[in-house]
Structure 1
């Protein structure tokens, strides 16, 4: 067989493998997609023309004026907060009477419509702070008629909240809740090495790790992935939930965002992409209520890290809660355990609800709201 035929057979084999993987991933995502009524899909246009998706989960009986903005972290999407009950903060808070709006940051999920001349990987965390956050806030306030909203962010979503609260958006926030969000970045060597590899693997634009996670999802619960405890302790999650989370919740990462995280880790800082705005120093200027939460075994946002950021806050209404066995909790929570650990719906969610209810504005009478279509016309 001549060289040309070997090349042809090699190309056909490569295409078959790629096609097979695509079919496998699509099938896995369909099989493990959360079986629950989808939220209403809304679109918010940012000042720079980027269109982001905001998923609205309405309260059947709305009891409070302020909506809750649910903001996911790096490499995640709206399923972080709007999953299938009982592992769904959006469902939980909606039943308590709060309208919930789960964002998908630009470049993620349904938010892949950049303006002309931009790629959907061309953004930094600064864009989440200066563009996405105001657009999401404007939409939520318009939809509910409220004057202010609460912010709940997990991991990077909490960091975006910290930064956004220091700007013009601050007066529109009724309170800020951060969950597993580190503002100090002196990390262990392993994390530094992994991030460095991620930056290189993301060249020239993004890291598509969601394909690998979806490919391997059906095997979780039977075997554990290496280093999976960095994200979530598999011993704290039911196997079926592990498979669903890894099949549907992970998203690709922009190389620019990874470069920004590398700057934070290498220089132990929390600042803008150009280095001009020190968001960590700005924490002392916040005057709104802040709830700092995390897990006692979280290797990305350690208990020490949470205590240090809590000490930077000077607002009169600040609360620190580290979930763990030393407080009588069911488990020593890791990073993702705060959302999907077996104890989260009975220990983490109720604390969030109680904190919100103590600070939200009750409506004179509960407002019954009809079910709405999951999507808007194009």
Structure 2
């Protein structure tokens, strides 16, 4: 079978019409990481009446315990579908072992470090090849953290990122028990007994998360917190990032509070950056929550249009800082 890309093996595994949208699903096998079994599913949404029209490309990264359905439902509702109908070229990857992306051989050891260093650059290269333009990126929760890691680690730069928008993303919240070394060590020993954490069992979402990711996050929040891997300090690297940045927090988000999201935003060195808080005090009709900031009726009318405005021109001020 002929590859859909000149970069690495890519197969078009489905091409469907969903109402007024087309949904093409590609399977990427970049073979650029130590685990060569990694395969990534990337869905493209476009207008059925204009299948060959390529608007501004935007990549949407889901958060933990999630998949592509966070961005658009089978009924064609969601930010991804909204942006496609607005003329954007929408691309929705699913991380290793999520949704249509199969579990790789070393699934239990998967970490944000792997996503940032290997997977996101491959996705960026493929989308740029297909669209002929540098894509914009939007990440929710862990998706935003992964983007920050890729930018801070300099695995992604201006050649692969036109702008980045982070929704409900932070790595500064304090978990005091993890500051006590015996508690952290005990937690690590306990977690290592498992292969993954069940999203459905914990009622966190439809997908599981590899235990490697949980162990990695303990280092971010532990006594000697470090947002980085053995080779690079991602936190320090963010100060060198110059792509436009939009950081969005929600007043009603107890998981990733406003102050912590702002701290990540302030670490970016970008001259063009904006911080947006979604709450009644800022003129919105409600205090949005962690999921509701992007998936709710209020988000459809108040947040999605702001996202489209940002993508069209990151220099336009969306609200007071």
TM-score (norm 2): 0.79
Q: Secondary structure at the match of 1:337?
A: coil
1:333 to 283, 288, 312: 288
Give the conservation status (yes or no) of the 8 Å contact 2:197–2:209.
Answer: yes
Residues 253, 203 of structure 1: CA spacing in aligned structure 2 closer, same or farther, 3 A cutoff? farther
The residue that corresponds to 2:301 in the other structure is: 346
2 CA distance for matches of 1:173 and 1:335? 25
Cα 1:288–1:212, aligned 2, differ >3 Å: closer, same or farther? closer
Give the match for residue 94 of structure 1: 84
Maintained 8 Å contact 1:295/1:334 = yes
1:174 paired to 2:162:
yes
Structure 2 SS opposite 1:39: strand
TM-score (norm 1): 0.68
1:72 — aligned with what? 62
Give the match for residue 128 of structure 2. Answer: 141
Residue of structure 2 in register with 1:128 after alignment: 115
| Unpaired runs of at least 5, structure 2 | 1-17, 316-321
Tell me the residue number matched to 2:319: none
The change in CA–CA distance for 1:343 and 1:294 in structure 2 (over 3 A counts) is same
Contact 1:59–1:98 under 8 Å retained in 2: no
Instruction: Look up the SS of the partner of 2:261 in the other structure.
Output: helix
Task: Give the stretch that moved more between structures: 204-213 or 49-58.
Answer: 204-213
Q: Larger RCO: Structure 1 or Structure 2 (Cα < 8 Å, ≥ 6 residues apart)?
A: 1
Structure 1: which 4+ aligned runs deviate by more than 6 Å?
A: 35-38, 196-199
Residue 256 (structure 1) aligned to one of 212, 225, 240: 212
> How big is each residue's C-alpha offset from its partner over 1:25-73, in whole Å with a ceiling of 9 and x where there is no partner?
xxxxxxxxxx977721111123132111111112455876531110011
Q: 1:188 to 1:80 in 2, by over 3 A?
A: farther
Q: Which residue of 1 aligns with 2:40?
A: 52
Q: Cα offset for 1:304?
A: 1.0
Number of positions where the alignment pairs a residue of Structure 1 with one of Structure 2: 284
Q: Matched residues in 1 for 2:192 and 2:47: separation?
A: 39
Q: Hey, what's the Cα distance between the residues in 2 that align with 1:308 and 1:104?
A: 27
Structure of larger gyration radius? 1
Is 1:42 matched with 2:26? Answer: yes
By percentage of residues, which structure has more helix?
Answer: 1
Instruction: Return closer, same or farther for 1:207/1:184 CA change in 2, 3 Å cut-off.
Output: same
- 1:83 Cα offset (Å): 2.3
1:357 maps to: 312
| Aligned mate of 1:206, from 183, 193, 196 | 196
**Structure 1 residues 108, 323: closer, same or farther in 2, change over 3 A?**
same
CA contact (8 A) 1:70 1:81 kept: yes
Per the alignment, residue 172 of structure 2 pairs with: 184
What's the C-alpha RMSD, in Å, of the aligned pairs? 2.9
SS in 1 for 2:156: helix
